Amino acid sequence: MRIPRSLVLAAVAALGVRVVKSRRQRFLHPRGRVYEGELHVWGGDCGAALLDRPGRHPVTVRISKGLGVEGDRPDVRGVALRVHGDEPIDLLLSTCGKGRFTRHLPVPRRGYETFYGSILAYRTGDGRKVYLGATLSGDTITLDVDGHPVGQAVMGTEVGDSVVFDPIRHTAEDLHPTGTIHGARGLAYPLSQWWRGVRRTAPSATGTARAISHR
């Protein structure tokens, strides 16, 4: 089926407008609300210290809409979670399905109280490939690994939307994104930060190589 030229031109124009508007804001998830909070990990068995060891960690949580549509119209919602520590760990999740195949697909939702997933896999310290999930209800986010709950993050005080997340650089050796797509994100994030005019995180050669090599 041939796509009408007018439709192609409209799509190109819309993309151009989006790029221009992103000069001083994120290309995706342009506006969000950020909260300080605490993550209570109950413990699991996935091969990652953060999620296997019971404990409490200060966190920063950002909730947002992928395209930033107004009102309650459907949009791909996002939850970004930074776990603070000696080395911060950023986990970025989007609304998606729960099935074996649909968990790889972003799904627009009308509200924030729903299920979010990593969409792409993470590799843990014992070599396993896992998928992270989260369910938002009120001010509580329940984290899970392959559907098994491992902890909850409670959002507290709202703060300014200035945090810069980078799930490739801010990662752990035993819990890191894996795959070529994730590796490409390792280069795309610093470029996006430069375009937006914010303080950039240096590209993480180790994180990018680790993601691409599936280690």
Phi, psi at residue 145, to the nearest 5°? -120, 115
**pLDDT for position 8:** 41
Chain segment 138-176, per-residue pLDDT in tens: 999 999 999 999 999 999 999 988 888 888 888 999 999
Please tell me the predicted confidence (pLDDT) of residue 169. Answer: 83
**Helix%, strand%, coil% for the chain, nearest 5:** 25, 35, 40
The distance of Cα 213 from the centroid of its chain, to the nearest Å, equals 21
177: amino acid identity, one letter: P
The residues, any chain, with a CB within 8 Å of residue 151's CB and separated by 6 or more, are: 39, 40, 41, 42, 43, 51, 142, 143
Q: Give the residues across from 62 on adjacent strands.
A: 34, 80
As beta bridge partners, residue 136 has 141
Model confidence, pTM: 0.77
- Return the CATH superfamily for domain 31-161: Catalase core domain (2.40.180.10)
pLDDT of 11 above 50: no
Q: What's the average model confidence in pLDDT over 53-81?
A: 92
Q: How many CB atoms lie within 10 A of CB 85?
A: 11
Nearest-angstrom CA–CA distance, 141 and 15: 33
Question: What pLDDT shows up at residue 166?
Answer: 85
What mean pLDDT, rounded, does the chain reach? Answer: 80
* Biggest alpha carbon–alpha carbon distance for the chain: 57
User: For residue 21, is pLDDT > 90?
Assistant: no
Q: Which of 30-34, 90-94, 122-126 has the lowest mean pLDDT?
A: 30-34
DSSP string, 49-100: HHHHS-EEEEEEEEEEESS--STT--B-EEEEEEE-SSS-EEEEEEEB--ST
